[in-house]
Amino acid sequence: MSNTNTEHLELNSFIQDVEQIVQEGGSEDTLISKVTERMQQLLKSEKVLPDQYMQPQSKFALYPLYIAQDESFSIAVTVFDVGQSTPMHDHKTWGVIGVVQGVEHEIKYDRPSNESEPLTVLKDRYIQEGEIGTCCSSEQDLHKVECASSVPCVGIHVYGNNIGKIERDMYNPQTGAKKGTVTRWNTVPNLNSTL
């Protein structure tokens, strides 16, 4: 977000608070806990995101809401249109998600010990609008996400790195084989907004 206006003061305050949390440091668990607590406050806001960050694309969208100058963290907005999903993938960092609209279906997988084993499901959950979840940590980093609602699923994701730049892996669910990838940032649509 380049400019600010009074309509999104809470969102700008959230970004500043996350920056302070990351700068203060601590264990991964501490960072996740503090960001989760702050995200709970944000999701109580009446209008959390500007409209241009709520727009679906032809495949799921990853919009940059904020990237720290030193790339120590990034805040992304993900938009999954009805029927859209990610491949099975990892993150190589910690992450916290808050669902702003719709329902997110997340399936977490056990990391295979070699590339000839099928992936096994560890957890299958639905994250409802207003709910928060830990999407990844150094201990559990492999999942698939899809829209599970009749409206696009929109989430705010805070990651401990520049998620639109780091090389991660996609996994074949049948064999466990992985392939390096970078999930590039999408350009935020221009809706002639003042933000």
Q: What is the mean pLDDT of residues 159-169?
A: 94
Q: How many domains does the chain have?
A: 1
187 in a structural domain: no
174 in a structural domain: yes
CB of 119 closer than 8 Å to CB of 88: yes
Name which of 25, 45, 19, 31 is nearest 134 in CA terms.
31
At residue 192, the pLDDT reads: 64
At residue 4, the pLDDT reads: 40
188 in a structural domain: no
For 36, the domain range is 6-181
Name which of 65, 56, 76 is nearest 155 in CA terms.
76
pLDDT tens track for 61-102: 999 999 999 999 999 999 999 999 999 999 999 999 999 999
Q: What is the CATH number of the domain that holds 158?
A: 2.60.120.10
Place 163 in a pLDDT band, splitting at 50, 70 and 90. Answer: very high
195 in a structural domain: no
126 in a structural domain: yes
At residue 116, the pLDDT reads: 75
